[in-house]
């Protein structure tokens, strides 16, 4: 959605290594914002984005930066139901968000018709939703999951980071350090104990408040209530959403439950 950073560029770099032609879409999608003020304040700087992309894109690669009118010449009334994938974590806290994501991604897939589509793991639930979208409606498109790119203090790169107050940005490395500790704790502690640790540790920072911390199944995103319910053939991730002041941040990290 623009306001590009090294995390976005890593997706492009990975795509360039794999594909003979790469297309990059830049579009702040209004239908995935459930807060009009968040949409209004979302950072936009197309000129700077283009300069960054020119560093990693080749002559035959292309950038698609459509207007809202081009993507939505008329209101999009389609409703997507992703079942449990859309009914936990972000789906509960941001009603309609993933329906808007599915609307715009399906339109972009129809326009560009890619063989591969590259998405970052920072938006963990979004990646699961888009993977399911492709499975159902675009079986010829392979979704490629790309690792989180972090700042030197561990903060996951995000366009929203530039909106953090200086004191909040300075303290934000606590998120990564806490997730690292939580990933160690899950081997010996129950999920509720780990959740309490994560919440209490991060909320010691003035202005920080945790919205949720869940440990979920990698495939179904089902939250784990007790380690009694886990199976050894699945991967599990600790997912967090929090506010640093009035800026909402998300992150995740794989955890071991046995």
Active site residue 168: no
Residue 231: closest CA among 219, 243, 248: 219
Q: Which of 5, 8, 137, 232 is catalytic?
A: 8
251 by DSSP, 3-state: which? strand
| 255 neighbors 215 (Cβ within 8 angstroms) | yes
Q: In sequence order, what are the residues at sequence separation of 6 or more whose Cβ sits closer than 8 angstroms to the Cβ of residue 42?
A: 1, 3, 28, 33, 159
Contact criterion met (CB below 8 Å) for 85 and 128: yes
- Residues belonging to the active site: 8
């Amino acid at each position: 959605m623009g306001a590009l950073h090294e995390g976005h560029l890593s997706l492009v770099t990975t795509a360039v290594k794999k594909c003979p032609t790469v297309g990059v879409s830049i579009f702040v999608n209004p239908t995935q914002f459930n807060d009009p003020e968040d949409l209004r304040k979302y950072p936009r700087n197309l000129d700077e984005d283009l300069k960054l992309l020119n560093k990693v894109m080749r002559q035959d690669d292309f950038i698609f930066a459509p207007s809202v009118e081009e993507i939505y010449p008329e209101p999009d009334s389609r409703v997507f139901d992703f079942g449990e994938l859309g009914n936990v974590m972000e789906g509960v806290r941001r009603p309609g968000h993933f329906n808007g994501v599915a609307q715009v991604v399906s339109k972009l897939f129809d326009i560009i018709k890619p063989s591969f589509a590259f998405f970052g793991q920072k938006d963990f639930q979004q990646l699961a939703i888009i993977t399911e979208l492709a499975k159902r409606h675009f079986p010829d498109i392979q979704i490629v999951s790309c690792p989180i790119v972090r700042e030197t203090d561990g903060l996951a790169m995000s366009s929203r980071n530039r909106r953090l107050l200086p004191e909040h940005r300075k303290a934000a490395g606590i998120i990564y350090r806490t997730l690292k500790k939580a990933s160690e704790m899950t081997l010996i502690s129950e999920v509720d104990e780990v959740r309490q640790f994560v919440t209490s540790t991060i909320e010691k920072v003035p202005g920080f408040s945790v919205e949720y911390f869940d440990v979920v199944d990698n495939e179904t995103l089902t939250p784990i209530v007790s380690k009694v319910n886990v199976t050894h053939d699945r991967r599990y991730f600790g997912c967090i959403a929090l506010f640093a002041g009035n800026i909402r941040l998300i992150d995740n990290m794989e955890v071991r439950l046995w």
